[in-house]
Chain A
Amino acid sequence: SQQGEEDPQALSIQEGENATMNCSYKTSINNLQWYRQNSGRGLVHLILIRSNEREKHSGRLRVTLDTSKKSSSLLITASRAADTASYFCATDAGTSGSRLTFGEGTQLTVNP
């Protein structure tokens, strides 16, 4: 089964609104990463948060990590139509060369 599970599966909002996506996982991790995928092809790395960090910011992105609950959230503020994409969380448990275990993703649609 997938280590990471995103919630919601799909999210539709208006430009300018904030978008929040959640991710839960099952095992201990070294870090958790968020990626964006446009049109089902290459993934773009957004942000990485280590297991000893609780919050991290990058531009309009804010990521939180709660290791006691094994969950993370990604907040995109002041969304734009260009943010429309699939967003995946991926966990690095430090096994197999730090291979990543991905969730099913959240499809975000930002309407102009």
Chain B
Amino acid sequence: GAGVSQSPSNKVTEKGKDVELRCDPISGHTALYWYRQRLGQGLEFLIYFQGNSAPDKSGLPSDRFSAERTGESVSTLTIQRTQQEDSAVYLCASRQFPDAGRQYFGPGTRLTVT
């Protein structure tokens, strides 16, 4: 079946502009995660959605970052007033509960803030 998809693949934006990144999880996966990966580094957790429960936003680095998810489908990550330090690859993953713990990752969105 289809995997996790993300759009756009690449996004170049000017400092101060807002951006929206989209994630389509695997159908039926109740859990969805957003991670950020800066160049040459590991992934940092940003936010987690599980069904209709309140999201865990503990990884969001500032109030410029927000995310929404419609039910158990699409999620959007919004970054307002982008800064150069927001440049990174933003990865989305989904997971089906209950399961063994594996997460399925999308190809990521490479964000460049100029």
Chain B: residues with Cβ within 8 Å of the partner, total of 29
A100 touches B100 (CB 8 A): no
Q: Which of A93-112 contact B (CB under 8 A)?
A: 96-105
CB contacts (< 8 Å) of A44 on chain B: these are 105
Interface assignment of B20: CB less than 8 Å from any CB of chain A:
no
Q: Mark A8-42, 1 if CB is under 8 A from B, else 0.
A: 00000000000000000000001101010000111
Task: Give A45's nearest chain B residue, CB to CB.
Answer: B102
Instruction: Pick from A2, A43, A88, A98: contact of B101, CB below 8 A.
Output: A98
A40 to B108, CA, bound (A): 9
In the complex with contacts A43-B91, A97-B31, A97-B48, A102-B101 CB distance below 8 A:
no
Q: Which residue of A30, A92, A100, A105 has the most chain B CB atoms within 10 A of its CB atom?
A: A100
Chain A: residues with Cβ within 8 Å of the partner, total of 26
B107 touches A101 (CB 8 A): no
B56 touches A45 (CB 8 A): no
Interface assignment of A61: CB less than 8 Å from any CB of chain B:
no
Could you list which residues of chain A lie within 8 angstroms of chain B, going by C-beta atoms? 2, 4, 30-31, 33, 35, 40-45, 48, 88, 90, 92, 96-105
Other A-B pairs beyond A45-B102, A96-B58, 11, CB < 8 Å: A33-B101, A41-B108, A42-B107, A43-B43, A88-B42, A96-B48, A98-B31, A99-B48, A100-B35, A102-B43, A102-B44
5 contacts between A and B (CB under 8 A): A31-B101, A42-B91, A45-B103, A48-B100, A98-B31
Could you list which residues of chain B lie within 8 angstroms of chain A, going by C-beta atoms? 31, 33, 35, 37, 39, 41-45, 48, 50, 56, 58-59, 89, 91, 93, 95, 100-108, 110
